[in-house]
Each structure stands twice: as C-alpha cells, then as structure tokens.
Chain A
Amino acid sequence: MAPWMASGLIYASALALAAGGITLLYITTKTFNFAHASMATWGFYVVYSGVVLIGGTPYQYFPFAFLFGSLLGVICYYGLNRPLLGRRASDITLMMSTLGYDLILLSAIQMYADYLTFGFKLFPRRVSMGLFDFELFGTRAAAVILPLMAVVFLSGLHMFLVKTKFGVAMRATIENPVLAGASGINSDRIYLVSWVIGGGMAALGGAAMAMAITGTPVLGMNAVPFMFAGAILGGLHSLYGGILGGFVVGMAEYAGVFALSQRFGPWVLGYRMGIPLLLMAATLLIFPRGLAGIPWIALAGKLFGKKKGVKV
C-alpha cells in the first residue's frame, strides 16, 4: 500500500467516526457539537498517556479513549445541553454553549500537556504516534486495524440501532420526538445515550487521527472544520450519511493532495485544507441535503435509461 493511501485510510476512518458523532448529536439533540474538537484531542491524549506511561500498543487504549470521550459527553449533556434543551434554546445558542465547553476542555488539555512535560519529562506537544505502531501485512498496522475498527464499531452501532429495543427507540425519537414521548420513551435517556456514543466517537476519532497526523494540543481544534465538512457532506440527517461524508472528505483530501502534488509539486501540501472545504461548499450550494439527499436512484435512472422498477 502506498504511504499516502495508508495515511489516507487512517485519517478517513478517523474523520468518519468523528463526523458520525457530530451527525448523531445533531439529529438527536439538534446541537452542532463544537466540543468535538477537544473531545477528539482528549481521545488522543488518553491513548498517548497509556502508551508512554504504561506501555503496550496504542490500540489497547482505544476503549479507554472511548470511555473518556463518553464521560466528557455526559458532562456536557448534564451541565449544558439538557438545561438548554429544556429551555428550547435556538441552534446558535446550543452551538455556542458547546463552543464554551470546548474552550474549557482545550485549556484543560494545555494544562495536562504542561503537566506531562513537567512531571514525566515528556514532549506531549508534538507527538508522532506512528512511532509506537508496528508492521502488519507489509504496511503500518494502523492502516489495517483502524479502518477495521471503524467498520466493526459502526456495524455494532448499526446493529444496536436496528436490533435492540433501545436502539429502535432512539431512531423513533430522532424521527418524531413528540410521538416517541407519547409512546412512553424517555427522550432524556435517549439524548444521554447519544452524548455517550457521540462523545466516545469523537475521542475514538481523535485517537485514530493522531495515528496519521502529528498529535498536538490543537489536533482537534484544527481538524474540527473537516469533521463538520464531513457531517455536512453527509447531509446531517442520517448517521450513515455522516459516516460516509467523513470518510469521503478524509480520502478526498489525501488522494487530492497526492494527485495535485504529483502534478504541481509539493507546495500544494500547504493548501490541503482547501479540498474538504471546496467539497463542503459545493455540497452546501448544490446539494443542500448532502450525499444522502442526492436522488441516487433517479440519477442512475437518468444515466442508464429508465429501467423497470426504478422510480424516477
């Protein structure tokens, strides 16, 4: 596997997880979660701390990253989101509140990094997690394990949403909160669980992302526009759309930069963030409902002639 492809796969899996989390939180609580940025960074620092302080491979600490992200999500839900939802705050207020929370988390990350530097003589402000990786099937283990982990996690999430009573109740609440409430479903618990899963996904995404790019205290803060780009590309009304959107954004960035730098030279690397942004802008202007909102079947029908049974 070419190096850019390996990194691209890791990065795209990370974005898929993070954008999925953003989408999940948006469709349940109508909150654009800015705190995804620092939740992701915390995920990275949990894995980093585990590896340098305890030892072993990064992957064994991913579950802890998930749990820590969930914890941050639960705090956000009880401290901020729940009171505001009760007050029927506007989307902007909900978004701003998570921004405030993000800044608090960011300062905590910075202090933690200071502490790691001082207390353990580490260099936590520029970390190449790739150094802790090993080789698997002739390529970096992360390029195999992380996409696999993303697929397993997301399939698990899918099974949860389709097969379990609570998962179905979650989908019911997403679609029609009023009727779900009237059916006796406690929306409070649904929102709490979506913060648990969403926060965990953010942290997993951050931990995975650090395997592809340099881990810094502002890892998540710099990446959050791409997470949102993925979620927006996915259309923000289906979890699967968000996951796909994140993956497409990540892959497009790596493939695009690779192709362009081959053609124009390495200076293109500096402008790599233009690719996801253009994707997002194009989506918003041309398909405001995102990838999931494009009438794929109708398009196929137009392209390949009207076939029987294809709704146009």
Chain B
Amino acid sequence: MTTGNGLAVKLKNFLLTREVMVGLAVLTFMIYFYIGRGLPMVLTILIDFAVFAIITMSLNLEVGYTGISQFGRVIAVIAGAFAVGAIPGRFMAGFMGLPAGLSYGDDAVNFQVVPQITALLENSWLLSIVFFIFCILIAALSGAGVGWLVSRPAIRLKEAYLGISLLAFGDFFMWVGHNWMPLVGGSTGVFVPDPFRVFGAARFEVVVITIFVFSILVYVYLNKLTRSPFGRMLKMVRDNDVSAAAAGKDIVKIRTQSLVIGAAIAAMAGGLYVIYTGTVTAMGFGRLTWTFWPWAFMMLGGIGSTIGVLLGVFVLTILRTLITIYRFRIFGFLMAFGIDPVWLEFTLMGAVIVGVILFLPYGLVPEKVEPILRSSSIKRLLGS
C-alpha cells in the first residue's frame, strides 16, 4: 500500500462501508419520491421506516444476537402503545379535575376529555415536552416490565415452543385491550393527548423528524451495545449456551437483560407510533403487522446484522409504498374480478419470507463475523 494516496484510500474505504452505501440508496429513493410525489409522501415513508426500524432492530437484538425465538414482538409494542394510551392522559385528566378513573376509557368521555388536555398542552412548550418525555418513559418502563415477564418462560422453553407461546400471548393481550374498555377504550379505542400540537402547522413534520431521530439514536445505541463485551457475550450464548455457561457466564441473566432491553425499545416505538397517530385501538395491534412484518424485514436484511436490518426495513417499506401507489395501475386487471389489490401486501410479505429462506438464507447483508479485537491490535500483538 502506498502512503501517497492514503487519503484517497481512506475516502474510498469510507464510501464503501455498508452504512454509507445504505444511506446513499435511501437518499436516492427519497429524492425519487420527493420529485414524483412531494414531501408528504417522503414523510409517510420515513415514519413507517423509522417506527418499524426501531421495532425490527429490537427484534434483531433478541433473535439475531441472543437467539431467542421472539414470535411475540407485538407484546412489547402493545405494552408501549397501551401504556401511552392509558396512563399519561389519565394523569393529566386527574390534574385538570376531569374524569380520570375507569371511565376515561369510555369513548363518550374520552372523546371530550382528550381534546381538553391537548388544548392545555398546545399552549405550553414546557408541559408538552414534559408530557412527551413522560410518555416515552412510561412506554419504556412498561415494555421493560413485559420483557421481564416474557423472559421467565423464555429461559425454560425450547425454540419453537417459546415462539408459539409468545405468539399466543400476543393475541391474548390484543383481545384483552379489545374487550376491557377501561384500558384503551375497547373496540372504539382512546385518543392520545398530542404533545406536538404546540408546533402548530408543522406538527406532522416535527413528529416525523422526532421519530426518525429516535430511530437513529436506537441504531447508534444498539451498535454500541452489540460491539461491547455484552454484545459478544450475547453471541456467545446464542452460539453455544453450554460452553458459555461453562465459561462462567450467567446465561439466565444475559437472556433476561437482552429481552428487557429489546422489549423496552420496541415499547417506545409503540408509544411513539400512537402519539403520531393520536389514537390507540387494540385491534390495530395484531401479530401480522407488529410481529410478522418485523420478522420479514429482519430476514430480508440479514438476521444478526443491524445495518442489514435497516436495509431490509427500507427496501420493504419502499416496496409496500410502491404497491400502494401503483396497485391500480399495475394490478388493475384484478379489479375486473372485484379483487382489491391491497391484499397483495400479504402476498408480498409471504413471498419475501419464503424467497429469502429459499434463496437468500443469510439476507441482503449477512452477519459479519467480527473478531474480538480490532485488526490493528491483533497486528500489534502478533508483532510483539
């Protein structure tokens, strides 16, 4: 290697890193959508991407790094969404002397209470910020709690058994939310007081940017976490728990930590999502959207690779959007039979899962085998 064009080599290496490549791809598509469809389209894609990126990254922490068959991702999302739907609004209502008890969930009451809370928030920057932070904290806490609960059977059960149990309990929580009115309003749902109304007309843009920034923070955090000794320990437990135990690692503790962190992150995504939509309806939290889609994203991107997961989320979000935009133009022939092309989304999800398993078992960006030491320090050690 010549030292003269060291900078050029460095630049080339930098441009070839997976992060930059993915970033460029994202940017290209965004510009395409911006030109073709305008800013709202770009923002819609961005928000879908950001919410699912957070959830899928948390799923990847549990599945890819820890080797837990998490088929109940929706449980943590529900924990976050329901907590944000049920708790912060009640606090505010309580302070304001409005009905805050069981009747808060009643749609006739909720429909009048929440706008009053939002009106209060709209006039105070400080209150809005405090309320938002409170929402996120409460989502993270309830997520962590659910993660801990899930970790109890997760330590005992084998792969597929655990997956099926988690899946079933995800459904159960959804039905509880649907039937127990005081929680999140049962079948009618509840409104969520909006801490972003304070931005006025720019509300949508600010929400999108906030969630997007949040997803970047999660990426940075998970990257740091998985490259730390803790991350290596996770992979060690995943690859061979017997030898990890023999090496003196407390497997139960490691798995529990991973599940708690993962669930807390996913719950925050659930909380952010309902703040963005402004409502919580239990039936909106089915396993198709909040467990199976993240699995499809993760498998396409590459299980065990965080940047791959981001790419997977992005590619599929774009594909979904394209289907939504062009469904009548391309699949219009289906309309002749009265068939709504919207169902193609399920076909796509299924085809991606099947196709990836058959033809791309390691995903778009396969997991990198990372040496424990950096190459420079290995060289140094070998040299001495």
Name A's B-contacting residues (CB within 8 A): 32, 79-80, 83-84, 89-93, 95-97, 99-108, 110-111, 114-115, 117-119, 221-222, 225, 228-229, 232, 267, 270-271, 273-274, 277, 280-281, 284-285, 288
Bound: A271/B167 CA distance, A: 16
* B354 adjacent to chain A (CB < 8 Å): yes
Task: Kindly provide the distance from the CB of B309 to the nearest chain A CB, expressed in whole angstroms.
Answer: 15
- Assuming the A-B contacts A97-B354, A103-B350, A104-B351, are A111 and B169 also in contact, with contact meaning beta carbons closer than 8 angstroms in the complex? no
Residues of A within 8 A of B288 (CB): 103, 221
- Assuming the A-B contacts A80-B358, A84-B357, are A103 and B167 also in contact, with contact meaning beta carbons closer than 8 angstroms in the complex? no
* B163 adjacent to chain A (CB < 8 Å): yes
Nearest B residue to A103 by beta-carbon distance? B350
Contact between B179 and A271, CB atoms less than 8 A apart: yes
Contact between A273 and B171, CB atoms less than 8 A apart: yes
Bound: A99/B294 CA distance, A: 13
Name B's A-contacting residues (CB within 8 A): 69, 153, 156-157, 159-161, 163-165, 167-169, 171-172, 175-176, 178-180, 288, 292, 295-296, 299, 334, 337-340, 343-347, 349-354, 357-358, 361
Contact between A103 and B338, CB atoms less than 8 A apart: no
12 A-B residue pairings within 8 Å (CB atoms): A32-B164, A84-B357, A90-B159, A91-B160, A92-B159, A92-B163, A96-B295, A99-B353, A115-B338, A225-B164, A270-B175, A285-B156
- Assuming the A-B contacts A96-B295, A284-B153, are A80 and B163 also in contact, with contact meaning beta carbons closer than 8 angstroms in the complex? no
Residues of B within 8 A of A115 (CB): 337-339
Nearest A residue to B156 by beta-carbon distance? A285
Task: Kindly provide the distance from the CB of A214 to the nearest chain B CB, expressed in whole angstroms.
Answer: 15
Interface of B is mostly: helix
Contact between B179 and A270, CB atoms less than 8 A apart: yes
Contact between A97 and B350, CB atoms less than 8 A apart: no
Residues of B within 8 A of A92 (CB): 69, 159-160, 163
Nearest A residue to B169 by beta-carbon distance? A277
Bound: A37/B299 CA distance, A: 22
- Assuming the A-B contacts A95-B160, A110-B343, A114-B337, are A280 and B353 also in contact, with contact meaning beta carbons closer than 8 angstroms in the complex? no
Contact between A93 and B357, CB atoms less than 8 A apart: yes
- Assuming the A-B contacts A80-B358, A232-B161, are A225 and B337 also in contact, with contact meaning beta carbons closer than 8 angstroms in the complex? no
Contact between B339 and A114, CB atoms less than 8 A apart: yes
Bound: A93/B172 CA distance, A: 25
Residues of A within 8 A of B180 (CB): 270
Residues of A within 8 A of B351 (CB): 100, 104
Residues of A within 8 A of B175 (CB): 270-271, 273
Q: Contacting A111 at CB < 8 Å: which of B157, B160, B334?
A: B334
Contact between A83 and B358, CB atoms less than 8 A apart: yes
- Assuming the A-B contacts A91-B159, A232-B164, are A102 and B343 also in contact, with contact meaning beta carbons closer than 8 angstroms in the complex? no
Bound: A83/B353 CA distance, A: 15
